Amino acid sequence: MLASRPRGTLYIGVTSNLVQRVWQHQCGAADGFTCKYRIRTLVWYEAHESMESAIMREKAMKAWKRRWKIELVETINPDWHDLYPCIL
């Protein structure tokens, strides 16, 4: 999950290469929603055994209420730090 700022605009996506994909968002190389709203900070992520399970989780989380997404982030990242350096 990426955020524009603490408790700001959120983006949920799935990828097979998290490091590369976050880098693309942070550089502005990913056009569309994340570029338009300057969503660049990795605030939460989870690994999956298969792409199928990752996609199912992504779809489920996109249907969540915003409050639930914020609570999820704040359980492991209460200060909304950028987690990108942790995955390098």
- Bridge partner list, 61: none
- Number of domains the chain contains: 1
- Tell which residue, 20, 27, 1, has the closest CA to residue 82: 1
| Dihedral sign for Cα atoms in the order 69, 70, 71, 73 | positive
Q: What integer pLDDT is reported at residue 30 of this predicted model?
A: 84
pTM of the model: 0.94
Q: Are 66 and 11 in contact (CB under 8 A)?
A: no
pLDDT values of the chain reduced to their tens digit, one per residue, 88 residues: 999 999 999 999 999 999 999 999 999 898 899 999 999 999 999 999 999 999 999 999 999 999 999 999 999 999 999 999 999 9
φ and ψ at residue 35, rounded to 5 degrees: -70, -45
Q: How far apart are CA 39 and CA 37, in angstroms?
A: 6
The parent domain of residue 46 ranges over: 2-87
